Amino acid sequence: TQLLEQSPQFLSIQEGENLTVYCNSSSVFSSLQWYRQEPGEGPVLLVTVVTGGEVKKLKRLTFQFGDARKDSSLHITAAQPGDTGLYLCAGITGTASKLTFGTGTRLQVTL
Amino acid sequence: GAGVSQSPSNKVTEKGKDVELRCDPISGHTALYWYRQSLGQGLEFLIYFQGNSAPDKSGLPSDRFSAERTGGSVSTLTIQRTQQEDSAVYLCASSPRAQIGNEQFFGPGTRLTVL
């Protein structure tokens, strides 16, 4: 069974702080996605990373895929209350795009 | 445009009863997925449909769980003889086609509570 462990599980920070969320596995994935989920809604895709070592930036969010394609990180600069939510990494193997989701990191950003 | 819709949004049932959960994917999407999410944690894959191919049922936790997709569109997830451990949010997602890196579009989920 492929497992994706995320850390930390919970994070409560103040507006303007920086943070990093980690997603680790012992398995190799062909690609990895990050989603954000708000209460009462389904996850929404933030980014897909495909190449080992790849770095993608989305405004204040920076995503990195590990060289061995077993781990990833999400860094948020100057967090804002609108960043609050559950962040999920999801690994993809094979051709069916079946996602293996991480354990989740719940982020709360307060004023 | 219309996204993925699921019904009901909430379902409360008694242990031992059967339940049916419905998913309407985005029109034209050939891939459809069911996931289960417990207590705001990560999602657990249940089943996947792609076009007319045989579904991938490898994530179904027991034979009490089944799903079908009629006409390549609407899907129903059925849980027979529900147990308290079945309580969770059941999420459906669709994708234009099953291709590595494709975005999956999720519905809002059905929150199932088994008393």
Of A65-74, B32-41, B93-102, the one with minimum mean pLDDT is: B93-102
State yes or no: pLDDT of B60 exceeds 80.
Answer: yes
pLDDT of residue A2: 59
pLDDT at B40 over 70: no
| Dist CA A36 CA A55 (whole Å) | 18
Nearest residue in chain B measured CA to CA from A6 = B42
What mean pLDDT comes out for the span B27-50? Answer: 89
Residue B112 confidence (pLDDT): 97
CA A21, distance to chain mean position in Å, is 7
pLDDT for the residue B1? 57
Q: Which residue from B minimizes the CA distance to A92?
A: B100
Name which of A98, A100, A103, A105 to mutate to probe chain B: the one with the most chain B Cβ atoms within 10 A of its Cβ: A98
pLDDT of residue A98: 77
pLDDT confidence of residue A81: 96
| A24 vs A26: CA distance, rounded Å | 7
Q: How far apart are CA B55 and CA A15, in angstroms?
A: 45
Average pLDDT rounded to a whole number, residues B73-97: 95
- Which residue among B44, B56, B93 sits closest to A96, beta carbon to beta carbon? B56
Q: With H, G, I as helix, E, B as strand and everything else as coil, classify residue A30.
A: coil
Q: Do B44 and A101 touch (CB under 8 A)?
A: yes
Answer with the residue of higher pLDDT: B4 or B102: B4
Per-residue model confidence (pLDDT) at position B70 = 85
> Omega before A8 cis (within 30°)?
yes
B72 vs B99: which has the higher pLDDT: B72
Length of chain A: 111
pLDDT at B103: 86
**Cα B73 from Cα B97, distance rounded (Å):** 13
| pLDDT band for position B23 (cuts 50, 70, 90) | very high
Write out the residues of chain B at the interface with chain A, using a CB-CB cutoff of 8 A.
4, 31, 33, 35, 40-45, 48, 50, 56, 91, 93, 95, 98-109
How does residue B100 score in pLDDT terms, banded at 50, 70 and 90?
low
Measured CA to CA, the distance from residue B57 to residue B52 in angstroms comes to 14
Percentage of chain B exceeding pLDDT 90: 73
pLDDT of A96 reads 62
- What is the DSSP pairing of strand A105-110 with strand A10-14? parallel
pLDDT of residue B98: 63
- Cβ-based burial of B91 (10 A; exposed 0-12, middle 13-18, buried ≥19): buried
| Interface touch B101/A106, C-beta < 8 Å | no
Contact A95 B42 (CB under 8 A): no
- Distance of alpha carbon A110 from alpha carbon A81, whole angstroms: 6
Closest alpha carbon within chain B to A5: B42
* Cβ count within 10 A of residue B56: 18
What is the model's pLDDT at position A97?
A: 67
For chain B, give the longest Cα–Cα distance.
40
Contact B5, B92 (CB under 8 A): no
Q: Is the pLDDT of residue B82 over 70?
A: yes
CB contact under 8 A, A92 and B100: yes
Spell out, as residue ranges, where chain A has pLDDT lower than 50.
none
